[in-house]
Each structure stands twice: as C-alpha cells, then as structure tokens.
Amino acid sequence: MSGIHRQAAPTSRGPGGYSFVIADAASDEALGHVGLWLRDEAAGRASLGYWLAPRHRGSGIARQALVLVATWGLRLPGIHRLELFIEPTNVASWRTAEGAGFECEGLLRSWMTIGDRRRDMYVYSRTRE
C-alpha cells in the first residue's frame, strides 16, 4: 500500500484532525499528503506532517502544501501554534519547514518511536502573527 493510501482520508475533519492529498492540478495525480492533527487543540496547538512520493521530492511541492495548510490551520478558532517534528538526519524536511515559515526550536531527545527504535526529533513551530 502506498504512503498516500495509508494516509488518505476525507478532507473533512476526522478524529484527531484533517488529512489532504497533494495532487497535480493539471492531471489530478496524487503526489503526496499533508495533514493537520489536533491532539493538543485544547492547549491551542496543532501538529502537521507531510509526505511526498520520491519522484516529486525537491520540487517545492511539499513546501507549497505546507504553507497552504499552515496558513489555514492558524486561522482555525483556538489554534495559536503549529508544530512539526523532524528527524535530525532529514535535512530536506528541515529546508521544507523553514521555507514554509517554521523555526527550529530545539532537539527533543527520544521523542517518538519509529519502527522499533526511539528517535530524537527537532521541533519546529509557526505561530499566529
């Protein structure tokens, strides 16, 4: 199953947030996904995640999708802060986040489990103006 099919969900709010397919405007080909998760909504925070098919990486598409969803997410009632969690080795994702207006705040040690290992993550944020 592709990353898109695992992550695809209706663009209406589901339990925990929103998931969108990133599609080519001309062909309607699915290129990846971007999501906004509201697990910390009561505290005014939401997190984002994105994935792009390997052949579309480096094109700026992920940055464009992240800008759109982040701009929209910061307009949701009660959301004042957006967060991204990025593995320290994922330099391309750092650049995507920074290009979308997110700032790195620091390293969270042993932040999450991926596969069978605990991983460090950089936390990036973007807040309402």
- What pLDDT score was predicted for residue 70? 97
Which pair of tokens denotes residue 63? 């940055």
For residue 37, pLDDT over 60 is answered with yes
Q: Which CATH superfamily is domain 3-127 in?
A: Gcn5-related N-acetyltransferase (GNAT) (3.40.630.30)
Kindly report, residue by residue over 52-103, the tens digit of the pLDDT: 999 999 999 999 999 999 999 999 999 999 999 999 999 999 999 999 999 9
State how far the Cα of 46 lies from the Cα of 86, in Å rounded to an integer.
15
CB contact at 8 A, 118 and 97: no
Instruction: Tell me how far apart the alpha carbons of residues 98 and 23 are, in angstroms, rounded to a whole number.
Output: 22
The predicted structure's pLDDT at residue 74: 96
Q: Where are the domains of the chain?
A: 3-127
Bigger pLDDT: 8 or 107?
107
More confident residue, 4 or 77: 77
Rounded mean pLDDT, 14-25: 86
Residue 3 has pLDDT above 60, yes or no: no
Q: Model's pTM, two decimal places?
A: 0.84
Task: Say what the pLDDT of residue 14 is.
Answer: 54
